[in-house]
Amino acid sequence: MTAGAWIGLMSGTSLDGVDAVLARADDRGALRGTAHVHHAFEPALRDELLALNRSGPDELHRAALATNALMRSYAAAVRALLAAGGQGAAGVQAIGAHGQTVRHRPGEFDGTGYTLQLMNGALLAELTGIAVACDFRSRDVAAGGQGAPLVPAFHAARFGQAGLAQAVLNVGGIANLTLLAADGGVGGFDCGPGNVLMDTWVQQQRGLAYDADGAWAAQGRVHPALLAELLREPFLALPPPKSTGRDLFTPDWLAPRLAAVGAAIAPVDVMATLAEFTARAAVQALQREAPASARLVVCGGGAFNAHLMRRLAALSGLPVVASGELGVPPDQVEAMAFAWLARARVRGEAGNVPGVTGAAGPRVLGALHPAR
């Protein structure tokens, strides 16, 4: 049966590629994933997307062409997904596509600020023959919100359990927490770096895309002075609602903090300290905002980092489980969330949680581009 099929596409701050999920509604109306593919970015595209996170020459022209290339990569992911799921394009109701964030500065400068994702829904609809819902964040920002995180509504729908206070930690490039109260209340916010600093460091020092299983970090020793310096970041102490992005936790952010320590630190010990920083920032935020949480569910690429998972468990004292144990593989959760947001857009349902983003109220998120 093809009716009720939806596609979610997510390319996050890790910049490793796009995750694509095909989902269908079950008998209770909940979306369940039926196929998943990961489509890696070409190195040249990844490099350009990374460069566009910083100011540079001819940005508008470069961003427009990078967006076109990104849409072709998205379309390739959709074709592979349809083949993997045995699904025809005509049976898909809509694609929910996040786009690629290159700036995220809500509420700043003029009181409204902005969030900017490279995305061309019209081109993606043309390339795939499927309706596209996109530009989800800007509607929340227009209503005074942070535009992020948007996944808590999906987390609540998928993982929430009456009577159980728990948290969901998404460790992508940036880490965000969803707080699911026992009474059904939902909170959430960006809590600090996810993989972004660890990935940047292992790329610089060892030429690797990421530290597989956290094995290199596990070999090092945490440097107390550097950890203390990292934990002084003012963003960490801000109350929710709050959000951030790769434009904060950059190599230029890390360099002066390494210099401030005033001593040479072995690269492997820097790596161990960055992993500890990621874990501590998340756990301290959880303990401050939701001390009654009885379980921590982890999704995103960080859930595959065994060292990070061990540190989260040790620091929190909670049972820490990967989302796959609850039926949604960690690398599919965010893409599933955007399939869910696409369905909400088509139905005219609110997709934000005002208590999470700080928006003035519930809003229908996203622009919709018809298939034809």
Q: Are residues 172 and 301 in the same domain?
A: yes
In a domain, 269, yes or no: yes
Assess if residue 328 is contained within a domain. no
**Are 161 and 222 part of one and the same domain?**
yes
Together in a domain, 138 and 105:
yes
User: Do 158 and 254 sit in the same domain of this protein?
Assistant: yes
Helix (H) or strand (E) holding 67, with range, is helix 59-85
327 in any annotated domain: no
Indicate the burial class of 314 (C-beta count within 10 angstroms; 0-12, 13-18, 19 or more). Answer: exposed
Which of 24, 151, 140 is CA-nearest to residue 92? Answer: 24
Domain containing 134 equals 5-146+335-369
Per-residue pLDDT at 30 = 87
Using DSSP's 3-state secondary structure scheme, residue 370 falls into: coil
Encode burial over 208-242: b for 16+ CB neighbours within 10 A, e otherwise: eebbeebebbbebebbeebbebbeebeebeeebbb
> What pLDDT is attached to residue 1?
33
Q: Pull the structure tokens for residue 161.
A: 């359990």
Burial of 348 (C-beta count, 10 Å sphere; 0-12/13-18/19+):
exposed
Q: Is residue 329 part of a domain?
A: no
Verify that 166 and 53 share a domain, yes or no.
Answer: no
Same domain? For 221 and 241 the reply is: yes
Query: Does 69 reside within a domain?
Result: yes
Residue 304: both structure tokens together:
């595959």
**101 & 14 share domain:** yes
Could you tell me if residue 213 is left (phi over 0), alpha (psi between -120 and 50 degrees) or otherwise beta? Answer: left
Residue closest to 107 by CA, chosen among 369, 364, 360: 360
pLDDT in the model for residue 2: 37
Q: Number of structural domains, the chain? A: 2
The two beta strands, 100-106 and 113-118, are antiparallel
Residue 340 lies in a domain: yes
Does one domain contain both 165 and 140?
no
What is the model's pLDDT at position 263? 85
Q: Are residues 205 and 293 in the same domain?
A: yes
CATH value at residue 245: 3.30.420.40
Residues 165 and 142 reside in one and the same domain: no
| Burial of 111: CB neighbours in 10 Å, binned 0-12, 13-18, 19+ | exposed
Q: Say yes or no: 196 and 115 in one domain.
A: no
Q: Are 77 and 9 spatial neighbours (Cβ–Cβ below 8 Å)?
A: yes
Together in a domain, 139 and 157: no
> How high is the mean pLDDT in each 10-residue block of the chain (372 residues)?
79 91 89 96 96 95 98 98 97 97 96 98 98 98 97 95 97 96 97 97 96 98 98 98 93 96 95 98 98 98 97 98 96 97 97 97 98 94
Query: Residue 324: inside a domain, yes or no?
Result: no
Report yes or no: 365 and 150 within 8 Å, Cβ to Cβ: yes
For residue 296, report the phi and psi dihedrals to the nearest 5 degrees: -120, 120
Look up the pTM and report it: 0.94
